[in-house]
Amino acid sequence: MTKIIVVGAAGRMGRRLVSLAMDSAGKYLLTGATEISGSPFLEQDAGLVAGSGTSGVKISPELAPLLANAEVVIDFSTGNPLANAELAVSAGLGIVIGGTAIEKAQKAAIAELARRGGRIVMSSNMSVGLNLVAGLCAETAGILGDSYDIEIVEMHHSKKKDSPSGSAILLAEAVAAARGCDLDEKAVYGRSGLPGERPRGEIGIHAVRGGDVVGDHTVIFATEGERIEIVHKASSRDAFAKGALRAAEFLRTSKPGLYDMRDVLGLSKGRPAA
């Protein structure tokens, strides 16, 4: 049994994490839940907010008082993942960070926490399928080389705040690494006006927003005479929540370090799957 705290328990992802933990037949135990100060859900039962019945866990505005009775914190919030990671690591807990739009400086500071003994899984997409697709895209990019143009198109619901998605960046980083190039130098985010002919080696990244789309990603490899498309479509947030819970289970017995979902899934050399 893995004892977890869900940060942002009243949000879309937080509610699914709470529900899946409660329905896990004892594999995961919800011991804490938080929301931002001023949330109308504070002091309410996290299970009832999630629509899954009484959990016995009230939603708190503070993380620190909850840490003594848990093993792993799961944070999909848009708040301050670094501050939550510092609290978790200081208390000896693992932390799963699944938020997107985390600044480079914060990522560097989180990596430093791991070097100092923290157990952290950080990924912009916790889906098992998307991470498998990232591996396929990297392998494809390595085989095809820059004679094939790469374009990445992502679509999400109209309420998504960041663009492009963290998952699109994850895919772009995977293909750039396979090509041995710097994504910052090769990425182009959308096109307008008269940009001219497409330079060789460019990686296009495009965001589409509308409706209630949970997350669609298409990686296109195109050359003269043919086109390859690798597609991943998420129809439910459960895909991300299940991956995050699997990451929490992984951290329960892992050594200190900074991990991603490839480590959790056993896709990195020398690491067993959770």
Q: What residues are annotated to the active site?
A: 156, 160
Q: How many CA atoms lie within 13 A of 171 on its CB side?
A: 31
Of 86, 104, 107, 103, nearest in space to 95 by CA: 86
207 token code pair: 């965001």
Cβ atoms of 248 and 96 within 8 Å: the answer is yes
> Which residues are 5's β-sheet partners?
32, 73
Establish whether the linkage from the previous residue to 164 is cis, with ω within 30° of 0: yes
3-state SS, residue 255: coil
Give me 216's structure tokens: 């669609």
Tell which residue, 249, 145, 194, 208, has the closest CA to residue 266.
Answer: 249
